[in-house]
Structure formats: C-alpha cells, structure tokens
Chain A
Amino acid sequence: MEIIWWLIAVSVVLVGLITWAFLWAVDSGQFDNLDAPATAILMDDDKVPGDPQRETAPSTSSRGAG
C-alpha cells in the first residue's frame, strides 16, 4: 500500500498540469467560439472557379489571442 504516496503525488501533479492547461485555454479564448470551427473543418473552401484574386497563402485560421 505504500504506492498510495506515489499516487497522491502523481494526482497532485496531474491536477496542477490540468489546471494550468485549463486556465491557458480560457485566457487564450479557446472557449469563446464553440460552434463555427466545428463546421469550418468539414467545408471545402478551396474550390474557387476562375478567381484570380485568391490569395496563395493559406488563410490564417488561428483565433489570435484576445
């Protein structure tokens, strides 16, 4: 049963890591828009018939820090 000391230590470290990740996610706006990105990935937006103005650089889909 001495393993319980290890388990306690591991769980404390884990909850710390998860908390850090969660706070980062909230502060960087990951929870601000929960609907649009879900469909954005399903849609094919490369099909541009004869549009010379299409920019060659891939569009920046990052949300950018708020």
Chain B
Amino acid sequence: MTDDDPRTESVTCFHCGDDVPRGTSWAVDIDGMSRPMCCAGCQAAAETIAGHGLSAFYAQRTLASARPTQDLPDFDAYDDAALDAACPLLADGAREAHLVLEGMRCAACAWLIETGVRRLPGVLDASVNLATSQARLRFDPARTRLGDLLAAIWQLGYRAWPYDARRRQAVLDHARRDALRRLGIAGLFGMQVMMVATALWFDPTASGIGRYLSALNWLNLAMTLPIVGYAAVPFYRGAWRTIRAGQLGMDVPVSLGILLAFAGSVWHTITGESTYFDSVAMFVTLLLAARFVELLMQQRASSLLDHATRILPAVVERIELVDGLRRVVRVPARDLVPGDRVLVKPGSAFVVDGIVRAGASSCDESILTGESLPVARGVGDPVLGGSTNVESPLEIEVTAVGRGVFMARVAELVARAAAGKPRLAQLAGRISGWFVGGVLATAVGAALWHGLVLGQPWLPIVIAVLVISCPCALALATPAALTAASGALLERGVAVLRTGALEDLVAVTHVVFDKTGTLTTGRLRLMEVVVHHGDEAHWRRIAAALEAHSEHPLATALVEAAGPGPRPLAHALVNTPGAGIEGTIDGVRHALGSRRFVATRVATCPAPGAAAPFVQEALLAVDGRVVAEFRLRDTLRVDAVETVAALRAAGLALAIFSGDRPAAVACIGAELGIADARGGMQPADKLAALEALQADGAVVAVVGDGINDAPMLARAALSFAVANAAEHAKLSADLVALRDEIAGVAVAFVLARRTRQITRQNLGWALGYNVFALPLALAGYVAPWFAAFCMSASSLVVTLNAARLRRTR
C-alpha cells in the first residue's frame, strides 16, 4: 500500500489498509478502541478476530491484511460429495485435510489461522506453512465437519480450498527433502574436508604436520566419499541425460571434473602426493546450494497457484421421478449421464453441456468464448459446461459429459497446440555447448602435450585444467540471475512457472492480448445517460430500484451508478431474461430494458443514436414514453493504458484477439491505440491467427485469461495468464499474475531485459576468469588452494551480481 496523499485526510481501514469510502460508518471495537473499517467484509473478519480474543494479531502483523470476500461459498458440498477426496481417513479415525490458503501476508497470519482453527471443537492439530501458503488440519469427523473448518478460516478473512495432497504435495516434499539432504551431507562432510585441507595448504613440512600427510589424505578420502558417491549423484544423472540426448550439457564437465579430480586424488593418496579433495567438496556444495535455492523458488512460485489440484465439489441437482412425482436430488456430477435433467440455480456453474428444457435466463460464457455480456438462453438453446447461470433457474437436459464437454475439447486443442510450441535457444545453453567442448579439447590437448611430447606426468595438469575451468561461475551465471529475477517478480505479483521463460521474453517481438477479462475488467460501467424528460439523478435511482435484485452485470452497473443515497422501492417486478424488467414504483409502472423490449410498451421509440462506443444500452419507459437511455460499456483495467504504453515504448508490436463482438473489440482497440484489434474469434481461430503471425517470423507473447485463450497460450513462445484466469489458461501459461492487474506484464518485460544484461555480465566474468586462469593451469602454475579460492570468489561475484536484480526499480 502506498502512503496516502497528505492533502486529503482519508481514513484507512484498520483491517486491510485501504481507504475508507466517504459516508460509511463500519467500525469494530478492538481492545477497547473503535477502529474504522472500509467494508462489511473487513468488519466481519475483524469482529471474528476480536471476538475470539485473537486481537494480538493486529499488534504482531507486519503487513496490512488482504481484503476479505463478503460472500462465502457453499461449504456443505464438501461434506457430501468431496469429503473422501478432500481429506483421507487416518488409521486412528481422524481425517486429515490439506488446504491451499489465499490472503496470507506475514507470519502473524499463519499464527492467526493456526490458533483460530485449533480452538474449534474437534480439531486435533493444525499447522500452517507460510512459505507455501498451505495448511494441514487433523480433525475428528464425529465432532466437526470440514465445511465448518473452511467457513471458520473464511470468517477470519482468508480463502481456503482443500486440494489433493496425495498427488502433488508428496512429490514436491520428496524433491525438496532429497535436495536438502544432499546439500546438508555435502556441506557437513565438506567442512570436515576443508578443515584438514586448510592445514595442508601452508607448507606441511614447516608446520610439522607433514608427518601425518598420508593419514590426513586417507581421512579426507573417506570424508569425500559420501560427497562424490551420494551428494553429487544428480549431476551424473543430468550428464547422462544430456549425453543420451546427444548434447553436451553443463553437467558433463561438472561430472567429469568431480570424478577425475576424485580419481586423481585417490591415486595421489596412494602415492603420497598432494590431493584435490577440498576442491571437489567445495565445488559440489556450491553447485548444490545454487540448485537448492532455484528449486525452492520454483516450488514457491508453483505452490502459490496450486489451483490445478484444488478440489471443487461438483454437486448437481438432478430431477428424478419418485412415485410419479418430480423430485430434486443432489448427486455428484460424475454420476450424470446424457439425457438426465438437471436444475441449475442462478450463480452456479454448468458442469456439463446441455440443452435448456425449461426456464429462461442468461449465461455468462465470457471465460469460454470471451463474450463480455451474458447471453440469453431460453428453451431449446444449448448451454456450455464451465459457463455460469446468471439470472434465473434453468432446467437442462444433459447432452455431453466427461470428455465430450466443450471444456474437454478445448483441453485437447491445448495439448495439440503445446506440441508445436517454438523452443527458443537459450543463451547459456548455446555458450555452454561450445565452452564444454572447448574445455574437454583443451584437457585432452594438454594431456597429449605433457604426456607424449614432454614426457611428464599428465594427470595433475588435466585435473588442474578441469578443476580451475570447472564452470562453477559459468554454471551459476544463468541460474543465479534467473532465480533472483523470479524472486523479484514474485514480490511484484508475477509467478514464473517455466524456467527459461524470462530468457524467452527478451526475444519477443509481438504481444497479443485477449480483451474481456485481460485488458478489461469484464464489468460494465455507465458511460452516459441521454435524458428525454425529467431529471437524470431521479431516473438513475429509478433504474437502480428496478435492478436492485438482479445479478446481471448491467444491473450491477446501474445500481453502482445510482450512488449510495436512498432509492425508491420497486415491487411487482417481472423479469424477462435477456430483454428487460418491469416494476411498480410509487404506484407507477416502469419498464427498463433493451430497445426491442421497450419498443413494445411505448407509442414512439426514439431511433438508436450514432454508433457510439458503448456495448450495451438500457431504455427506461414510464407511462408509454421513453424518458432516459442508459449507455454502458466494458471498462478498461486501471493499469491497461500504462501497460500498453510501456510495451509499445519497448518496441513491441501489439494486437488484440478476442471472442467478443468486433464492434466492442474495435472500440477498446481504438482507446488503447492498438490498430490490430480482431473480434468474434473462436479458440481455433485465435490459434490459426497466432500461427499465421509465427509463420511470418514473429516471436509472440500472449496475454489471456479464458478457456478460449488456452490453446493460444500453449502455442505461443511465451504466455502470460492474468490472476482470475481459468485453470486451463493458467496451466498453459509460462507466467501467471498473482494479483488482479496486468501491470505485471510490463514489469516482466523490464525485468527480463535486465536479467539478460546481468546474465551477460555474469557469463562475461565467468569466461574472462577462465581465459585468465586456464593458461596458468595449463602451465602448471596454479596451486590447489589458489584454484579453490578463485573458484569460490568467482562464484560469489556472480551470485552477488545477480542479487542486484532484486533491487530493480
């Protein structure tokens, strides 16, 4: 949160730190002080916290809390449909639930959730992990229900979802523990080796320790065995993998260096000469440490959006005939078969494709098709699984389940598109292939020269070449910069899901945006009111009164536009989904709706105005005449203009591919100054248009949110999903915004360029160091202790240089 402008005396919410809107009076008594609140959601959360005696949270937290949502989802479903999936039964009769938490900001949040949940009856244990935003609860199913526990966490102001821990968490935990174990072993034994080696560096005979040289070498040999035989195994595996694929990866000289230095040291131990065990130990430990940090960064980024494994109970209300009477029965969605009749309430999603058999409503298909407004659906119309019913209950007949559903078909398109994704050559990969080849050739050349031509012992020279040129700094150069950049991006709300995505970002020439939900918020806003008779403010209140109880986005926008003042009460409301609404206010009948809807109720209907930049209109009619026209449009995100300007300044070509009506898309395109704005595109059209761009040699980055963008996201060289994107879109993306904003796209581009700069400096340093040190090693002038020192110093320089990325702007 930025500091408030000192000129306006705004009050900030005690819970979330946002400004308190004027004219509101939410407040909560916390420890004897009345604290202002900005909304009912914050008030409810703060009341829960204070009421449970947990107000110490406010003293301990270091960041303001996230603003809580006001409406809680239906938790009951978890206790009938998804219970066994969400929390496995333990041997002692207790159940264990793994939750993904959203809204945690600091360690005090973790304490608050832990303490708040432990106090509930029936909870046996609760532990919250801040780093991964996950919680593990154990509870007694006889005394409490999962739904109650979830509700309790939501009431504290956080969002919690169960997820299938068995599938993913076990894998992640295992990988992390394995890496930590190897790093720890390398570090512990490495310290032991270094302790002995340091004593031997400085003229062993003078210090009198020379007598024990052989014994100390044997000790170091024993202490290095676990490092070479256990800790370094991932490098051998990596090297083997790249060799089998016909490439020379960074792991090849790393493995060769480790094994040759170790083998040579063993030989020298037997013959009683100086050894390189310390170099081996330090080398393995440093590399393992770098990889461990990289792993943690990746796991943190991916666990923050562990939505893929989130368990959402799909319960539907099936209409069944019981003794000849129609009854509604709640059944799990997987039990549905084509031909079943299902009742879908307003506000809930369709889980299957179907045909409307009774009722009329409108459906929000924006996530599937990009259409920004709900589309009217009546008897005989098809509805798509994944869309949401907006206005009134519908009875649908199931036509497709499982793999036949629209979403599943898009998923197949995604899989096919992903196979054709262009792989950009990575800077480090290109360099490392040459470098590795060069080092190996030099080593062989040195061996031949010293062995055959000069007739000297060649093994020490080869080891020196491999150890000193062991591409420690080179191996660290790219990962260190990428890890630091991923960390910096994470702090700015962007998770990097694919390593290398940041490197690809630099090569991008075109950026393609989706419209609805990406450039725009997907919410309507009142643009202008054309008044034919009477007072504008009055008609605004009348419109708000008529629409007060509707879920339609148009209704929400009109209610918002009327302001907070008192509004009249409407009764005898008659809603015609997709057309309009009628109601009686102060004894007079009012009608509000589309031009066609109103035209049947008035004597003369005004002709539509010139093609103005609005996407939706609503006419208000009273006593047989039209008194006002409301014009609404989709609103741009607050950061859309800046982001587009920043990307254009960076020299990128921009385009909009949308599924919405071409007129609406053209309007947004004109406002942002994007000439190439195409509308009315199906997922396959978008994919084809993208492939056409790529065929012309463009490297395209795609920013999107919907299911309809998923194939395009999978096919693009680089893809960016916004925070409220559909799961398919997130799974296909390389970068995902964690906050509801798109400014992260511009930040990612800036940081990617900076990362490449740093990576180049790092590579330059590492290569320069090798060019300087290699001839010395070839000539046999480099003592082992100096080689080890140079290696660590150069790695340190590279790591510290990369750390500068964290402070970028």
Binding site for B on A (CB under 8 A): 1, 4, 8, 11-12, 15, 18-19, 22-23, 26-27, 31-36, 38-40, 42-45, 47-49, 51, 53-55, 59-60, 62-64, 66
B130 within 8 A of A: yes
| Contact assessment for B127 and A66 in the assembled complex, using a CB-CB cutoff below 8 Å | no
A53 touches B173 (CB 8 A): no
Contacts A15-B189, A15-B223 given; does A36 touch B128 at CB 8 Å: yes
Residue A44 contacts which of B56, B125, B188 (CB distance < 8 angstroms)? Answer: B56
Contact A60 to B125, CB < 8 A, known contacts A36-B110, A39-B108: yes
Distance A59 CA – B216 CA, assembled complex (angstroms): 52
Given known A15-B188, A26-B181, A51-B53, contact A36–B107 (CB-CB < 8 A): yes
B130 near A51 (CB under 8 angstroms)? no
* A33-B129 contact in complex given A40-B114, A45-B56, C-beta closer than 8 Å: yes
Contact A8 B223 (CB under 8 A): no
The residues of A that contact B124 with a CB separation of less than 8 Å are 60
**B392 an interface residue at 8 Å Cβ cutoff?**
no
Chain B residues closer than 8 Å to A23, beta-carbon distance: 181, 184
Complex: A34 Cα to B111 Cα, angstroms: 13
Task: Answer whether residue B499 sits at the interface, using C-beta atoms and an 8 A cutoff.
Answer: no
Q: Is B52 an interface residue (CB 8 A)?
A: yes
With beta carbons under 8 angstroms apart, the residue of B177, B192, B209 that contacts A26 is B177
In the bound complex, CA of A24 to CA of B159 (Å): 34
Interface 9-mer from B9-17, B115-123, B375-383, B684-692: B115-123
Q: A58 CA to B566 CA in the complex, in Å?
A: 52
Structural contact, B119 and A39, CB atoms closer than 8 A: no
Specify which chain B residues have a CB less than 8 angstroms from the CB of A19 in the assembled complex: 185, 188-189
Binding site for A on B (CB under 8 A): 52-54, 56-57, 60, 107-108, 110-111, 114-115, 118-119, 121, 124-125, 127-131, 138, 173, 177, 180-181, 184-185, 188-189, 192, 195, 208-209, 211-212, 215-216, 219, 222-223
Specify which chain A residues have a CB less than 8 angstroms from the CB of B219 in the assembled complex. Answer: 8, 12
Task: Establish whether residues B119 and A53, one from each chain, have CB atoms under 8 Å apart when the complex forms.
Answer: yes
Chain B binding surface, main DSSP class: helix
In the complex formed, the residue of B with least CB distance to A22 is B184
B121, A35: Cβ atoms under 8 Å?
no
Q: Which residues of A contact B128 (CB under 8 A)?
A: 33, 36
CB distance from B161 to the nearest CB of A (A): 19
List, sorted by A's number, 12 A–B pairs whose CB atoms are closer than 8 Å.
Answer: A8-B215, A26-B177, A31-B180, A33-B127, A36-B107, A39-B110, A43-B56, A43-B108, A47-B56, A48-B52, A51-B53, A63-B127
Knowing A33-B129, A33-B130, A63-B127, the reply to whether A43 touches B115 (Cβ < 8 A) is yes
**Main SS class of interface, A:** loop
- Specify the chain B residue showing the minimal Cβ separation from A44: B56
> Known pairs A39-B111, A55-B121, A60-B125. 11 more at Cβ < 8 A?
A8-B219, A11-B192, A11-B195, A15-B189, A19-B189, A22-B188, A35-B110, A38-B107, A43-B60, A43-B111, A55-B119
Question: From B191, which residue of chain A is reached at the shortest CB distance?
Answer: A15
Closest-by-CB residue of A relative to B54 is: A45
Check B188 against A40 for contact (C-beta < 8 Å).
no
A18 vs chain B, min Cβ distance (A): 6
Q: From B59, which residue of chain A is reached at the shortest CB distance?
A: A43
Residue of B nearest to A47 (CB): B53
Q: How far is the CA of A36 from the CA of B129 in the complex (A)?
A: 7
Contacts of A12 in B (CB 8 A): 219, 222
Q: In the complex the two chains form, is A48's CB within 8 Å of B119's CB?
A: yes
Q: How far is the CA of A33 from the CA of B208 in the complex (A)?
A: 48
Closest residue of A by beta carbon distance from B192: A15
B195 partner residues in chain A, CB cutoff 8 A: 11
| A39 contacts B181, C-beta separation under 8 Å | no
- Are A1 and B130 in contact (CB-based, < 8 A)? no
Which residues of chain A are near B138, meaning CB under 8 Å? 64
CB pair B173–A32 under 8 Å, yes or no, is yes
- Give every chain B residue within 8 A of A62 (Cβ-Cβ): 125
CA gap between A33 and B303 in the complex, in Å = 14
Q: Check if B208 sits within 8 Å of A54, measured CB to CB.
A: no
* Identity of the chain A residue whose Cβ is nearest the Cβ of B134 in the assembled complex: A33
Q: Which residues of A contact B223 (CB under 8 A)?
A: 15
Q: A40 CB to closest chain B CB, in angstroms?
A: 5
Cα A26 to Cα B188 with chains together (Å): 14
B60 contact from A4, A22, A26, A39, Cβ within 8 A: A39
Known: A15-B189, A15-B192. A32 touches B111 (CB 8 A): no
